[in-house]
């Protein structure tokens, strides 16, 4: 793995500390409420697992898998549901948990899709966000880290399905993706 990575952007310790902060804010927001957290597969698996365990609020968990249509590595904004929720979210307090917001197109679509199902509330918590890559403005209540517009891997994020199991977030060496 060593030479495939250019640098460690966010360490395991930094991630854990940030998730503890975010969990305290989520706990405060949803005190006394029945919270459903929704993870977007596959990238959000690690954030879901660690954020959920840092929460004191009892939660139920569900998962969605979506994919962007279109060629290339850039999100098109046209999204297809690969796996829908098992849960009816009407009247529920829903928190979408994301690994990363890049252009924002996927999340923007997801928010309008889930919003149309009439949840009692709908918020977003993302570990990472790339402000310079934003193509649409999205109201994201909780952001772990704003990061530079570089391709990152680890902690759920992949390049060609690899590196998801790294416990930290790193940037890839250009030779790995042919740069
Ligand atoms: P958009 O552009 O719609 O994209 O906000 C969101 C999804 O694209 C993936 N993505 C990444 N995956 N490293 C990754 O491993 C990255 O730097 C990266 N940027 C975007 C990710 O699946 C995200 O949910
Ligand atoms: Mg994702």
CB under 8 Å to 175, separation ≥6 — which residues? none
Q: Which domain holds residue 30?
A: 2-176
Mean pLDDT of the chain: 93
* CATH number reported for the structural domain that contains residue 86 in this entry: 3.40.50.2020
Q: For residue 155, which ligand has an atom nearest its CA?
A: 1
Pick from 70, 100, 149 the residue to mutate for probing ligand 1's pocket: most ligand atoms within 8 Å of its CB: 100
For the stretch 107-159, pLDDT in tens is: 999 999 999 999 999 999 999 999 999 999 999 999 999 999 999 999 999 99
Answering whether pTM is above 0.80, one says: yes
- State whether the beta carbon of 50 lies less than 6 angstroms from ligand 1: no
| Domain count for the chain | 1
Determine whether 27 is an active site residue.
Answer: no
CB under 8 Å to 112, separation ≥6 — which residues? none
Atom of ligand 1 minimally distant from the CA of 163: 15
The torsion region of residue 166 among left (phi > 0), alpha (psi -120 to 50) and beta comes to: beta
Q: How far is the CA of 101 from the centre of ligand 1 (A)?
A: 6
pLDDT at 3: 74
- State whether the beta carbon of 106 lies less than 6 angstroms from ligand 1: yes
Both tokens assigned to 132: 């310079």
DSSP per residue, 12-63: HHHHHHHHHHHHHHHHHHTTTS-EEEEEEETTTHHHHHHHHHH--S-EEEEE
């Amino acid at each position: 793995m060593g030479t495939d990575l250019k640098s460690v952007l966010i360490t395991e310790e930094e991630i854990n500390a940030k998730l503890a902060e975010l969990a305290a804010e989520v706990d405060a927001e949803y005190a006394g409420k029945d919270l459903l957290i929704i993870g977007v597969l596959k990238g959000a698996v690690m954030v879901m697992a660690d954020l959920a365990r840092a929460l004191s609020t009892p939660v139920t968990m569900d998962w969605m898998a979506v994919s962007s249509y279109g060629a290339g590595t850039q999100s098109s904004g046209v999204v297809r549901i690969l796996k829908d929720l098992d849960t009816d979210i009407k009247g529920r307090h829903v928190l979408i948990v994301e690994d990363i917001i890049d252009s924002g197109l996927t999340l923007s679509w997801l928010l309008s899709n889930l919003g149309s199902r009439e949840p009692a509330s709908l918020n977003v918590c993302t570990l990472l966000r790339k402000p310079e890559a934003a193509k649409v403005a999205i109201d994201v209540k909780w952001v772990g880290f704003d990061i530079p517009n570089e391709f990152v891997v680890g902690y759920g994020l992949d390049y060609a399905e690899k590196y998801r199991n790294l416990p930290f977030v790193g940037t890839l060496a250009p030779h790995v993706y042919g740069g």
